[in-house]
Amino acid sequence: MSKKQLIMESALELFAKQGFEATSVQQITEHAGISKGAFYIAFKSKDELIIGLIDHFLLEFISEIDHVVKNQNDDHKLLNEFYTAAFHSFQKHSDFAKIFIKEQTQTVNEDLISKMHHYDKLIDKIILQMLERLYGEDIRSTKYDLIFCVKGFINTYAHLFLFFNVPFNLSLLSQSLAEKTYLLARHSEITFISEELYQTLNEPWDENITEEQIIEIIEQKIEEVEESTVRESLMLLKQHVQEPSLSQVIVKGLLANLKDHPNCKQISYLLRNYLGL
């Protein structure tokens, strides 16, 4: 395990017990058994560490639901699989999901608020693509309300199994919410969130992932995966990010090698967006 991963895991344990604000860098380094110098080599500050954890959790969540929306060709199964992927991601990262849900309503840190807002917009975009694909012009006046309904379902029901130990039947929950979403889409007529209000709530965000950041993630994935085809695809894509030389057809083929690998959905999503594919 790298020092960076050790710091993140140690911090996660402390954040779960004490929250972001009450946990100091000193406590994190003592818990991880490393020096403060080693911490500051990996992260410039505690805030950068927190943002790193948020990036890891939310990018994986987003890449999972994005993968379903882009790759499930059966419209009758799409809503069910979307909710299954969303709750599976919360369940898989339940420790951080609990912290994230608590902290996003309590933090006053502007950088963290901006980061959360950024990811919230990405989630909105994926949900909107799914709803427009399924219902088209039928939801022209209600689609922005529906985005909030879908996110509300996810947040509210996630609370039940994360904080109240309600028996968790993922299949039943996904079917139930898929049905509710279908009924709202087909029968709702009165809307509260208009397009104008939605745009007001979502001011433009100008942050993009940097070449340095995406190279770092690719290198991490190269170390993690064992399959030769996936490793070679990652190495070729890394070279292409640094010095573009491959045709769009070849790049899409390399990305196709990644999209179904369980450890590469995140980097596949990031690369497609970074390269504009």
Q: For the chain, give every domain's residue range.
A: 3-43, 49-201, 211-274
Rounded CA Rg of the chain: 20
Interacting residues of 221 by C-beta distance below 8 A, sequence separation 6+: 234, 263, 264, 267
Cα 204 from Cα 77, distance rounded (Å): 33
Average pLDDT of span 171-189: 96
Using 50, 70 and 90 to split pLDDT, how confident is the model at 206?
A: very low
According to CATH, the superfamily of the domain at 49-201 is Tetracycline Repressor, domain 2 (1.10.357.10)
Nearest to 118 by CA among 203, 47, 195: 203
The pTM of the full predicted model, rounded to 2 decimals, is 0.73
Residue 108: pLDDT above 60?
Answer: no
How is residue 270 written in tokens?
């990031």
pLDDT at 222: 87
3-state helix, strand, coil in the chain (%, to 5): 75, 0, 25
Cα 255 from Cα 267, distance rounded (Å): 9
CB burial readout 248-268, b (16+ within 10 A) else e: eeebeebbebbbebeebbbbb
Nearest to 20 by CA among 92, 101, 94, 90: 101
CATH of domain 3-43: 1.10.10.60
Q: Which of 17-21, 135-139, 157-161 has the highest mean pLDDT?
A: 135-139
pLDDT at 110: 67
- With H, G, I as helix, E, B as strand and everything else as coil, classify residue 104: coil
pLDDT at 123: 94
